[in-house]
Structure 1
C-alpha cells in the first residue's frame, strides 16, 4: 500500500486529484485495495473508487449474476 505510506506516491496522487478537481472533472480511483486507501481518497475529494476492496475480479457469467443482485456496496462521496 504505497498510496498511504510512500511520500512520492502520496504526492503524485494528490496532485493528480487536485488537477482533476481544478478542471471540474469527476475523480475515479482504480485499484483500491484497502480501507485505508478508501479513507485517504475520500478525504481528498475522490468521488468514486473501484478495486479489490469492494469486489474481486469475476468470470463473465459470475459478473452477470453479480450485476443482477441488489447493490450491497456502492461508494460515492456523501453516501
Structure 2
C-alpha cells in the first residue's frame, strides 16, 4: 500500500503525516508513506484543500487532519472509505 500525504508543509500537514504514521504503526499494515509538498504534484491529485491523504493514488481524506482512528479504519478497508 502506498500512502501519500498531500500538503505544502504547514503544521496541519505535518500533523496529518504523524497521524498516518501512527495509524500504520498501530495496525501493522505494510505501507510506504511519502509526503508530497510540491504544489504541481498536489494539483495532479485534483485536491482542492490540504492536508489530504491518498491511498494507492486515490484521495481518501481531504481538507482536514484525520484522527488516528479514521486512518486505521481507512487502512483496514484497503484504502476504501
Assess same fold via TM > 0.5: no
User: What TM-score, normalized by structure 2, do the two folds share?
Assistant: 0.30
User: What TM-score, normalized by structure 1, do the two folds share?
Assistant: 0.31
Say which structure is richer in helix: 1
Larger RCO, structures 1/2 (Cα 8 Å, 6+ apart): 2
Larger radius of gyration between Structure 1 and Structure 2: 1
Say which structure is richer in strand: 2
